[in-house]
Structure 1
Amino acid sequence: MDDLMPVLVCGMLFIGLPWVILHYITKWKQAPRITEEDEKLLDEMQMLARRLEDRVMTVERIIAADNPDWKPGLSTTQSPYLSDRESERPLDRPLDRRN
């Protein structure tokens, strides 16, 4: 049994480990990629979501001004989902994907 252990360890190290690594590299390369059409659709959906969020925030500000007891669901000053840099970006321009 003691003579068999180094053979098993070497077999696992030099055959098993590379096989697992190459198997998952192959799976990763076969995975579907996002197309330019899909990326454009995502940009359009993101712009729509930002415009809708802006509208909701505007309605919340109007309601808060009319009814002081009303508590808004979102922040009326800035979206909780956007960083400072993204919130300053105009809504009609898609995100820069090079970051």
Structure 2
Amino acid sequence: MEDVLIPAIAITTLFLGLPWLIFHYITRWKSAATLTSEDENLLDELHELARRLDDRLCTVERIMTAENPNWRQIACDPASIGIEDRDREPVRRISK
């Protein structure tokens, strides 16, 4: 009886337990890799905050340029530094 029990446990573990364990963690890994709606909302808020801070910085630079035109060689121009147009379409959501 004992001669059959150990190989049966080994075969069951090999063909049932191990694949179940692998697929369980693959499923967990895939579900953790996606963004939640909370994460998307946070990214949207951070993007809006960064855009507002950039606008404020440009305003300060325009004021400084108006007071002293030679304070800096390059003016704050979003197009010249690679920032997209402010009147563009809203931020696209990341699809799940």
TM-score w.r.t. the length of structure 1 is 0.53
In 2, Cα distance between equivalents of 1:37 and 1:81: 29
The offset of 1:33, in angstroms, is 1.3
Structure 2: which 5+ runs fail to align? Answer: 1-25
Structure of greater Rg: 2
2:42 match = 41
1:68 match = 69
In 2, Cα distance between equivalents of 1:67 and 1:36: 46
- Coordinate RMSD, CA, aligned: 3.3
Deviation per residue, 1:7-49 (Å, 9 max, x gap) = xxxxxxxxxxxxxxxxxxx497365211011100100010011
Letter paired with 1:77: D
1:78 match = 78
In 1, Cα distance between equivalents of 2:78 and 2:63: 15
- Report sequence identity in percent: 46
TM-score w.r.t. the length of structure 2 is 0.55
In 2, Cα distance between equivalents of 1:56 and 1:71: 14
The offset of 1:83, in angstroms, is 2.6
In 2, Cα distance between equivalents of 1:39 and 1:31: 14
In 2, Cα distance between equivalents of 1:49 and 1:61: 18
